[in-house]
């Protein structure tokens, strides 16, 4: 018995050690190129242009900027870390990410609270003290806008739509060590919305408990960014889709069936396609079964449709209806503007998918001055 216990303890310790060493953002690694660059006393413009060029990014640089000579020694840092560091060292360059475009302006650098996860840059770009009487209750709070940007080469899944994942607040404390949790729930109407999602950015709104008016910072904020990550994606092609109703295709261990594909019968211009994505629970591997617990079948069809080889980004609508009695069967529909007699229809399904949980940490977030 003692021997068995000893083995178990050893096994547990080994798992723990292994777990500590695992980078939760490792799966994103293949989507970004680490920057290794060393320069002494070199123009900040020259360094910046090299970073942008190597990463295929085009930022607008200000004409009135007088770059300073700076020294950098980047070793395997992310694109965003490198850009932010150049701005900081120059001292008169400010990155203004305006949704889809990025501007650099000649302005004293601002201490924006930042966190990085591979191709993603997280910033707290706005903090608001809110006093509110929502009769009959008080709903005072501290609102934080958490903005995320991603590099050109990587587009995260917008799931739950239109956000690239969710953000949990693991820990939030004021300067006296008082917790700012639980998050404050507010009526969904007539409250500031977090903002939109663009090709390159998205914003979440976090609503924490109010901070005492005599305190001027949030001492600590630990977040967990959870995002579904497709480990394996299958492009599923249907030829002459309007005549292929009932045709099935294997998608890893799942099966996708085109139930119908037709133009709107009432005269609309859209092409409506209905699919069923299903899995046979008796034939699933243990790994896929585990993945389905983290990211269910209903989230496996990606927001991507091609008709006759052309990606349909404009006016595409998706609807997902999980079968309440059978978690292994999901009905999916898409409506896209399309030709009346398409030759091919292609959709994208994640056959393997995991839920990444990436910790993000911020310290000493400055609060706006509180009026008397």
Partner 1 sequence: MMLRWAAWVLVLVPLQDPELLRLVEQLGHDDSARRQQAERRLLELGEAARPTLERLAGGEDIEVRARVRSILASMERAAVRRKWLGPAWTVRLPEGEYVLGELPGLLKKQIPVPVEIPAGLAGSRVRIGGKDVPAWEFLDQLCIAHGGLRLPLDTPEGAFALHEGKPSRCPIYYSGPFRVSIERITLEERADWRGGRMLLSIHWQHNVHPLSRDYLDDDYDFKITEMTDEKGTLLDQAGRQSGWSSFTLDQTRERVWRSAVDIALPPAGVRRLGRVKGRVMMFFPSLVETVEFKKPMDGSAPVKLGDTTIQLLSCRRTDKGVLAELRLSQPENPLKENALELRARFEGDKVRLRGTDGTIVAFDVRSSSHSSGSGEETMEYHGFFPLSSDAEALSFPFIADHFVQEVPFEFTDVELP
Of 266, 286, 314, 340, the one binding partner 1 by CB under 8 A: 266
Residue 336's nearest CA partner among 349, 309, 317, 310 is 317
Stretch that binds partner 1, among 31-39, 226-234, 266-274, 283-291 (CB under 8 A): 266-274
Q: Given the complex with partner 1, which of 136 and 177 has the nearer CB atom? A: 136
**Closest CB 275 distance from partner 1, rounded Å:** 24
List binders of partner 1 among 187-206 (CB under 8 A).
187, 189-190, 192-193
Convert 180-197 to b/e letters by CB count within 10 Å (16 or more is b). Answer: beeebebeeeeeeebbeb
108 contributes a contact to partner 1 by CB under 8 A: no
Q: Which long-range contacts (CB under 8 A, 24 or more apart) does 48-53 make?
A: 48/83, 48/86, 48/93, 48/104, 51/79, 51/82, 51/83, 51/86
Distance between CA atoms of 318 and 340, rounded to whole angstroms? 19
Buried b / exposed e across 126-152, counting CB within 10 Å, b at 16+?
Answer: bbebeeeeeeeeebebbbbbbbbbbbe
Binding segment for partner 1 among 4-12, 165-173, 264-272, 314-322 (CB under 8 A)?
Answer: 264-272
Which one of the spans 2-10, 130-138, 282-290, 294-302 is the region binding partner 1 (CB under 8 A)?
130-138
Choice between 49 and 126, CB closer to partner 1: 126
Q: How far is the CB of 63 from partner 1 (least distance, A)?
A: 25
Pick one of 136, 177, 246, 324: the residue that binds partner 1 (CB under 8 A): 136
Q: Quote the longest CA-to-CA distance of the chain.
A: 76
End-to-end C-alpha distance for the chain, whole angstroms: 68
Of positions 267, 293, 309, 340, contacts partner 1 by CB under 8 A: 267
Where on the chain is the footprint of partner 1 (CB under 8 A)? 126-138, 140, 187, 189-190, 192-193, 265-268, 366, 368-372
């Amino acid at each position: 018995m003692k021997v068995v216990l000893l083995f178990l303890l050893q096994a547990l310790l080994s798992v723990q050690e292994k777990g500590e060493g695992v980078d939760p953002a490792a799966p994103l690694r293949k989507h970004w190129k680490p920057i290794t660059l060393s320069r002494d006393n070199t123009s900040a413009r020259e360094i910046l242009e090299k970073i942008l060029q190597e990463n295929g990014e085009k930022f607008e640089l200000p004409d009135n900027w007088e770059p300073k000579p700076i020294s950098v020694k980047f070793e395997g840092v992310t694109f965003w870390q490198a850009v932010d560091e150049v701005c900081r060292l120059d001292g008169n360059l400010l990155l203004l990410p305006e949704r889809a475009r990025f501007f650099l302006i000649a302005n004293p650098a601002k201490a924006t609270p930042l966190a990085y996860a591979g191709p993603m840059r997280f910033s707290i770009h706005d903090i608001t003290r809110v006093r509110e009487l929502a009769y009959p209750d008080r709903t005072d709070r501290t609102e934080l806008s958490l903005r995320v940007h991603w590099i050109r080469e990587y587009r995260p899944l917008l799931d739950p739509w239109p956000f690239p994942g969710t953000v949990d607040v693991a820990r939030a404390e004021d300067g006296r060590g008082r917790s700012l949790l639980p998050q404050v729930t507010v009526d969904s109407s007539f409250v500031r919305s977090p903002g939109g999602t663009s090709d390159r950015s998205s914003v979440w709104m976090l609503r924490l408990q109010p901070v005492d008016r005599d305190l001027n910072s949030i001492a600590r904020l630990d977040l967990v960014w959870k995002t579904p990550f497709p480990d394996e994606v299958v492009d599923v092609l249907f030829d002459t889709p309007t005549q292929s109703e009932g045709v099935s295709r294997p998608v890893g261990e799942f099966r996708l069936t085109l139930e119908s594909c037709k133009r709107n019968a009432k005269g609309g211009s859209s092409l409506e396609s209905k699919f069923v994505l299903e899995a046979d629970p008796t034939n699933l591997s243990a790994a896929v079964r585990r993945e389905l617990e983290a990211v269910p079948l209903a989230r496996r069809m990606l927001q991507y449709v091609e008709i006759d080889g052309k990606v349909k980004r404009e006016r595409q609508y998706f609807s997902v209806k999980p079968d309440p009695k059978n978690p292994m069967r999901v009905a999916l529909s898409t409506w896209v503007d399309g030709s009346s007699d398409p030759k091919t229809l292609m959709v994208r399904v994640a056959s393997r998918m995991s839920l990444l949980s990436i910790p993000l940490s911020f310290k000493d977030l400055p609060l706006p001055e509180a009026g008397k």
